[in-house]
């Protein structure tokens, strides 16, 4: 069995007296690729921030590679976790190569007087190649499409060689070609880094890569179902999660979903 990368046990998060997450438990092992699904307001992004050591649980425990939140410097934990947020606060017209290299210093812009090593430059170029960015190394951030920015941020998050990659709705704002290029890039990433574990947040099943291994459904801050993707991602369970009668289909490893209407209504 692969090494446990992440473990959350009976996690609760309360803000201003209001429960955001309740009774959430999750174990992620090396090489697993989790989907975290739920409607808006279900607590997905809060859980992802918790797993990335950006917030602490009100109750329960979170361990990253055996290091428990609250008992270790969170800066140390973050070296093992790549967090990809499409709302990256970059305002300067940096080149793609330089954006990727900021992942080595965990900074939004290059640090003053910092120079990357030859090994760091080589890793940045390798990651850009894996993610389909080899020809865009000198392109400026403002000129990139949303999809190109997303892939750049994934390469940036992988610079410190994390064991866990967290993706917060990475397909947000992408058109169809951009979404498909992103999914292809995630597949290439899996092949190039087989021990890497990922957790991807979305509320669109069509955005899930075909290599998704596990899924967690959240409803109103509580886990509705979790486990192997084939067992969790069913019309019945996803329908309960989104409070809709849904039919799911899977072709070539990809999911599609539609509202399941009564037979009489379809004939009408």
Question: How distant, in Å, are the alpha carbons of 62, 99, 135, 237 from that of 138?
Answer: 39, 10, 8, 46
Q: Give me 35's structure tokens.
A: 């989907």
181-214 pLDDT tens trace: 999 999 998 998 999 999 999 988 999 999 999 9
- Identify the pLDDT of residue 267: 52
Q: What is the pTM of this model?
A: 0.89
3-15 pLDDT tens trace: 899 999 999 999 8
Domain edge (last residue) among 160, 190, 206: 160
Question: How distant, in Å, are the alpha carbons of 78, 101, 226, 251 from that of 105?
Answer: 12, 8, 35, 41
Residue 70 clears pLDDT 90, i.e. is over it: no
The structural domain count of the chain equals 2
Helix axes 118-130, 146-157, angle to 10 degrees: 140
- Identify the pLDDT of residue 155: 94
Question: How many residues does the structure list for the chain?
Answer: 268
- The answer to whether residue 240 is domain-embedded is no
- Identify the pLDDT of residue 199: 95
- The answer to whether residue 125 is domain-embedded is yes
- Shared domain for 155 and 51, answered yes or no, is no
- Identify the pLDDT of residue 1: 62
Please give the average per-residue pLDDT across 144-161, as a whole number.
Answer: 92
- Shared domain for 98 and 154, answered yes or no, is yes
Can you name the residues that pair with 168 across neighbouring β-strands?
201
Domain that holds residue 54: 1-80+162-229
Q: Give me 12's structure tokens.
A: 């609760």
At residue 67, φ and ψ (nearest 5 deg) are -100, 125
Please give the average per-residue pLDDT across 22-32, as a whole number.
Answer: 94
Domain edge (last residue) among 117, 134, 160: 160
- Shared domain for 113 and 222, answered yes or no, is no
- Shared domain for 68 and 1, answered yes or no, is yes
223-235 pLDDT tens trace: 999 999 999 999 9
Whole-number Å distance between alpha carbons of 62 and 268:
52
Residue 266 clears pLDDT 70, i.e. is over it: no
Mean pLDDT over each residue of the chain, to the nearest integer: 89
Sign for the CA dihedral angle at 57, 62, 68, 69 comes to negative
- Shared domain for 65 and 156, answered yes or no, is no
- Shared domain for 14 and 127, answered yes or no, is no
Helix axes 146-157, 176-192, angle to 10 degrees: 20
Q: How confident is the model at residue 83 (pLDDT cuts 50, 70, 90)?
A: confident
Q: Please give the residue that has the higher pLDDT: either 250 or 266.
A: 250
CATH number of the domain residue 59 falls in: 3.40.50.300
- The answer to whether residue 182 is domain-embedded is yes
Domain edge (last residue) among 160, 178, 213: 160
Q: How confident is the model at residue 262 (pLDDT cuts 50, 70, 90)?
A: low
């Amino acid at each position: 069995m692969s090494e446990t990368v992440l473990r959350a046990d009976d996690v609760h998060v309360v803000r201003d007296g209001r429960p955001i997450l309740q009774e959430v438990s999750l174990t992620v092992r090396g090489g697993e690729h989790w989907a975290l699904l739920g409607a808006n307001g279900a607590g997905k992004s809060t859980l992802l921030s918790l797993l990335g050591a950006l917030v602490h649980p009100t109750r329960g425990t979170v361990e990253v590679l055996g290091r428990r939140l609250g008992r270790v410097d969170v800066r140390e934990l973050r070296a093992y976790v790549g967090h990809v947020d499409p709302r990256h606060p970059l305002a300067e017209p940096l080149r793609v190569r330089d954006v990727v290299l900021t992942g080595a210093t965990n900074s939004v812009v290059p640090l003053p007087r910092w120079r990357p090593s030859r090994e760091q430059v080589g890793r940045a170029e390798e990651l850009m190649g894996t993610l389909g960015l080899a020809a865009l190394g000198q392109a400026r951030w403002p000129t990139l499409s949303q999809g190109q920015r997303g892939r750049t941020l994934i390469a940036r998050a992988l610079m410190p060689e994390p064991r866990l990659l967290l993706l917060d709705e990475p397909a947000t704002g992408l058109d169809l070609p951009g979404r498909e290029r992103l999914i292809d890039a995630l597949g290439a990433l899996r092949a190039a880094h087989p021990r890497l574990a990922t957790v991807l947040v979305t509320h669109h099943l069509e955005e899930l890569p075909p290599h998704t291994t596990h899924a967690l459904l959240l409803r109103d801050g509580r886990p509705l179902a979790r486990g192997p993707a084939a067992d969790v991602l069913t019309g019945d369970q996803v329908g309960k999660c989104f409070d809709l009668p849904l039919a799911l289909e899977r072709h070539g490893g990809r999911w599609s979903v539609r509202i399941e209407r009564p037979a009489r209504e379809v004939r009408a």
